[in-house]
A and B are shown apart, each in its own frame.
Chain A
Amino acid sequence: MSGLPLHRRAGFRLSFRYLLAALLVIVFCFPVYWLFIISFKTPDEIFAFPPVWYPASLQFGNYWVLFKDGDAGTVWNSLVLASVSTFFAMILGTVAAYSLVRFKTGGENLAVWIISQRMMPPVAIVFPLFLLYVYFGWVDTYFGLIILYTAFSLPYVIWMMRGYIEDIPLELEESALIDGCSRWEVLWKVVLPMARSGLFATAVFTFIFAWNDFLFALVLTRTEVTTYTVQVTHYFGGQSNFWAKIAAMSVLGTIPVFITVAIMQRYLVRGISMGAVKG
């Protein structure tokens, strides 16, 4: 038995927890900080030993050069590709999921078949796709990548939305049908508001999948719609790596996701836990 009074022990336990939490925060945030700080360093500071924890002056030139050369435009490309494909994948996927849930379209097994498409390794199809895209003239076009990302996200969207839609009480929809709504109106006025958290959570993940894609963008783009993930690799040279550029580009590429998640955080937590309970 400890000789300490109860409230003292509780106090120790609490401060230990805070200490542990602080340590974890540092461990997880340090790489982000390091990336961020490198993007403002001079080449000398980057390679200095012992490391420079914070630079003497902030080198905004690392960013300036990205904008001057037009490299920063690849972030815009990523943004367009990820948002537009997420938009279409959400619309098509939600409607498809509704059909699967309410009309038992394709029986019991269609949904499983759809998600199985997601399990295929992308590298298995990327070269056949490349040949196909060359034939259609879709290589290095927004259209080509948007179609691909949309198609690739669909199974995930359908699978997730199916779970959320199943949670909506049927009575709500039946009541709307009797009150004068068509099926499309039911979808718009009842299903979407009811599944809102799930809808946002799914959209965020779909966006991030497309945002982070490297393989498809690498093979299917040249110069016009290069994404930022591909652009970063251009700074790894044969002789030397442009660490400042790599870091600055990575920071630019992180900001949109950061903003998206910050805005959607409320829905993300609810959406994810909803899915967790439902399984």
Chain B
Amino acid sequence: MSDLKISNLHKHYGGFHAVKGIDLDVPSGEFTVLVGPSGCGKSTLLRCIAGLEETSQGTIEIGGRDVTYARPRDRDIAMVFQNYALYPYLSVKENIAFGLRARKFAEAEIEKRVSRAAEMLAIGHLLQRFPRELSGGQRQRVAIGRAIVRDAILYLFDEPLSNLDAQLRDDMRVEIKRLHNELGRTMIYVTHDQIEAMTLADRIVLLRDGLIEQQGAPLDLFERPKTRFVAGFLGSPKMNFVDATATRTGVKLADGTTLDLPGQKGLKAGAAVVLGLRPQFITVAGKTVAKGHARVPAVIELLQPTGSRVQATLPLGGASIVAELAAHDVSKPGEKIHIDLDLTRAVVMDPQSGQVI
């Protein structure tokens, strides 16, 4: 059964067309991440689902019920906001209990649910405090507590971690993933951070200019992007794009290097293409060349160590690419090495349309 079904959803703000016809089907229990650059319509889409924005066209069903015109409180949803949305004049306990009180739950039930939520989030010792006495991470936990204390069909998260510092963000990401595993509820999560999207999602919905560019499992999008935009958006460091010319069996780079692309079909010899190579799929040459790999010489221009790995900038076919190598495989800029390109994972794109061929 699907908990959320969106059909042909449009949203106009005056003359601005923010959401341009989105169809989305979210199965029960799934963790769906809406991701994309700012202005892609992901937050607007979430606010339409929540009922905080009226939709201009299309329908929204939650739990099999058409809620397109329902008020937010009649949609059976809970939401965590970016700025926590905690009431400064209420204690942590009353903040968490707010939704239950609004829905006239019995005092005993409120007591039970609040303490259970507080226990799950490890904020039991903070219940009597006020929001101003909490750290950013604690506030975010309370905000999440406010949502999970309710029995909603759909849990919405609007960039909940973007106000936290990097370390806390990593911790809370783990926390949210654990909560999803424990609760097994359907969650829709908006972020502009592709790492959050990759790590949290059962399914990523990548939006661009008010439309879904591609959706699927994180690895699926990572390894089999349909467009140059998807290829470039997901992954860090970013995918390398090198201009090339198609040959019968692969591509020819600007400096004349030819690369055979195994399994690549549909290439029109002589056509201009863009070769996409992820930094992670480039290695320093070993004893033998693996199947589907190509070995090319390179001179290291720049090194950026990140600990166990090092990001090496080097020239390839007239372009400058980044390779993520093992830290001890290279020593200094200017070093001449050979690198192996894993061409089984390479993608070829049409430079005009951006579509992957």
A-B contact pairs, 7 of them (CB 8 A): A169-B85, A171-B85, A175-B85, A176-B102, A178-B73, A180-B99, A180-B103
Bound-complex Cα distance A170 to B98 (A): 17
**Can you list, as one digit per residue, whether each of A50-61 has a CB less than 8 Å from chain B (1) or not (0)?**
000000000000
List chain A residues, Cβ under 8 A from B79.
174-175, 178
Q: Are A174 and B102 in contact (CB under 8 A)?
A: no
Cβ contacts A166-204/B at 8 Å (1 or 0 each): 000101101111111110010001100110100000000
| Across-interface contacts of B89 in A (CB, < 8 A) | 193-194, 196
Contact (Cβ within 8 A) A179 B87 = no
Query: B102 contacts A181, CB within 8 Å?
Result: yes
B71 to chain A, nearest CB (A): 7
Asked if A179 and B146 make an inter-chain contact with CB atoms under 8 angstroms apart, the answer reads yes
Residues of B close to A177: CB separation below 8 A = 51-52, 71-73
A190: chain B residues at CB < 8 Å are 87
Q: Would you give the 0/1 interface string for A217-237, flagging 1 where the beta carbon is closer than 8 Å to chain B?
A: 000000000000000000000
Q: Are A181 and B73 in contact (CB under 8 A)?
A: yes
Contacts of A196 in B (CB 8 A): 89
- A interface with B by C-beta (< 8 Å): 169, 171-172, 174-182, 185, 189-190, 193-194, 196
- A182 near B52 with CB under 8 A, answer no
Given contacts A171-B83, A174-B79, 6 further A-B contacts (CB under 8 A): A171-B85, A174-B85, A175-B85, A178-B72, A193-B89, A196-B89
Check A174/B81 contact, CB under 8 A, given A179-B146, A190-B87. Answer: yes
Q: Which of B14-73 contact A (CB under 8 A)?
A: 50-52, 71-73
A169 to B103, CA, bound (A): 23
In the assembly, what is the distance between CA of A172 and CA of B51, in Å? 15
Chain B residues lying within 8 Å of A193, measured Cβ to Cβ, are 87, 89
Query: A189 CB to closest chain B CB, in angstroms?
Result: 8
Given the known inter-chain contacts A171-B82, A171-B85, A174-B52, please indicate yes or no for A179 contacting B71, CB distance below 8 A.
Answer: no
Of B51, B82, B85, B98, the most chain A CB neighbours within 10 A belong to B85
A196 to chain B, nearest CB (A): 8
**Residues on the B chain within 8 Å of A178, using CB:** 50-52, 72-73, 75, 77-79, 99
Tier of interface size on chain B: 20 to 34
Q: Is the CB of A185 within 8 A of B102?
A: yes
Bound-state Cα–Cα, A174 to B71, Å: 11
Picked from B51, B83, B150, the residue with its CB within 8 Å of the CB of A179 is B150
Q: Which residues of B contact A (CB under 8 A)?
A: 50-52, 71-73, 75, 77-79, 81-83, 85, 87-89, 98-99, 102-103, 146, 150
CA distance A97 to B149 in the complex (A): 33
Which of chain B's residues have a CB closer than 8 A to the CB of A185?
102
- A171, A176, A179, A190: most-surrounded residue (chain B CB, <10 A): A179
Q: Which residue of A lies closest to B75 (CB)?
A: A178
B161 to chain A, nearest CB (A): 15
Query: Chain A residues near B82 (CB, 8 Å)?
Result: 171
Expressed in whole angstroms, the minimum distance between the Cβ of A137 and any Cβ of chain B is 46
Bound: A51/B146 CA distance, A: 69
Give the distance to chain A from B339, nearest Cβ to Cβ, in Å.
49
Q: Which residue of B lies closest to A180 (CB)?
A: B102
Q: Is the CB of A179 within 8 A of B52?
A: no
Task: Enumerate chain B residues within 8 angstroms of A176, measured Cβ to Cβ.
Answer: 98, 102
- By beta carbon, the residue of chain B nearest A193 is B89
Chain A residue numbers with a CB within 8 Å of B81 are 171, 174-175
B91 to chain A, nearest CB (A): 13
C-alpha spacing A176/B72, complex, angstroms? 9
Q: A171–B146 Cα gap in the complex (Å)?
A: 14
CA–CA, A41 and B341, complex, Å: 105
Residues of A within 8 A of B87 (CB): 172, 190, 193-194
Q: Which residues of A contact B50 (CB under 8 A)?
A: 174, 178
**Nearest 5 pairs of A and B residues by beta carbon:** A179-B99, A180-B102, A175-B85, A171-B85, A180-B103
User: What residues of B have a CB within 8 angstroms of the CB of A181 in the complex?
Assistant: 73, 102
Question: With A and B bound together, what is the CA distance between A182 and B87 in angstroms?
Answer: 17
Residues of chain A contacted by B77 (CB below 8 angstroms): 178
**A179 to B: closest C-beta gap in Å:** 3
Min distance, Cβ B144 to any Cβ of chain A, angstroms: 12
- Which B residues are CB-close (under 8 A) to A180? 73, 99, 102-103
The interface residues of chain A lying within 8 Å CB-to-CB of B99 are 178-180
Which residue of chain A has its CB nearest to the CB of B158? A171
